[in-house]
Copies of this chain bind each other. A is one copy, B any other.
Amino acid sequence: MNPAPPTADATFSRILEMPTWLITRAYAYSHRLLAEGFGAAGVRGYHFRLLAALEEFGPASQADLGRRTSIDRSDVVAALNELAARGLIQRSPDPDDRRRNVITIMPAGTKQLRALAPILDGVQDQLLAPLSAAERTQLVGLLTRLLEHDAQP
């Protein structure tokens, strides 16, 4: 006859199994590891993303870079300023379209990237330590499919 007792009558909050919770925690973990690795090099995520995109796809406009790296245009500006100040990239007006800048990675940028690569690999390894090779592939596959579904402007 008594109403539900005040203690733990709800089974609804299985937060520990909520994917959004797990992803949030995994990101925090991953970000902590990355910050540690990047920090030593005086670099942060945006810098690496931009350099890596330049390395992978060649010179590009800032808008293109932003799309490829999922960085907002305005943040691309700031990050590129910092990279340019260190001589890691070069900004030059696009002769074919005077709205655009052409961003080119400089030798120092490539060098920075190569210095970062092993650090990054180490972070991946540490993050995925508990998983077998097959499971790592699984995880990558599942996350990739999640993101394909993300309809971003």
Please pick, from B23, B58, B140, B143, the residue contacting A7 in the complex, using a CB distance under 8 A: B58
Q: Chain B contacts of A144 at CB under 8 A?
A: 16-17, 22
- SS class, residues of chain A in contact with chain B: helix
Contact between A127 and B19, CB atoms less than 8 A apart: yes
Binary interface encoding of chain A residues 117-153 relative to chain B, with 1 for a CB under 8 A from any of its CBs, else 0? 1001001100111110001101110111111111000
Whether A97 sits at the interface, judged by CB under 8 Å, is no
Q: Chain B contacts of A55 at CB under 8 A?
A: 10, 13
CB distance from A69 to the nearest CB of B (A): 9
Please pick, from B7, B8, B56, the residue contacting A15 in the complex, using a CB distance under 8 A: B56
Count residues on chain A whose CB falls below 8 Å from chain B CBs: 57
Whether A85 sits at the interface, judged by CB under 8 Å, is no
Q: For window 1-45 of chain A, which residues contact chain B by CB distance below 8 Å?
A: 7-8, 10, 12-13, 15-20, 22-31, 33-34, 45
Q: Chain B contacts of A17 at CB under 8 A?
A: 140, 144
How many monomers of this chain does the complex have?
2
Q: For window 51-83 of chain A, which residues contact chain B by CB distance below 8 Å?
A: 52-53, 55-58, 70
5 further A-B pairs in the complex, CB-CB below 8 A; given A7-B58, A18-B120, A26-B147: A12-B117, A15-B53, A23-B23, A26-B27, A142-B142
Chain A positions within 8 Å of B, measured between CB atoms, are 7-8, 10, 12-13, 15-20, 22-31, 33-34, 45, 49, 52-53, 55-58, 70, 113-114, 117, 120, 123-124, 127-131, 135-136, 138-140, 142-150
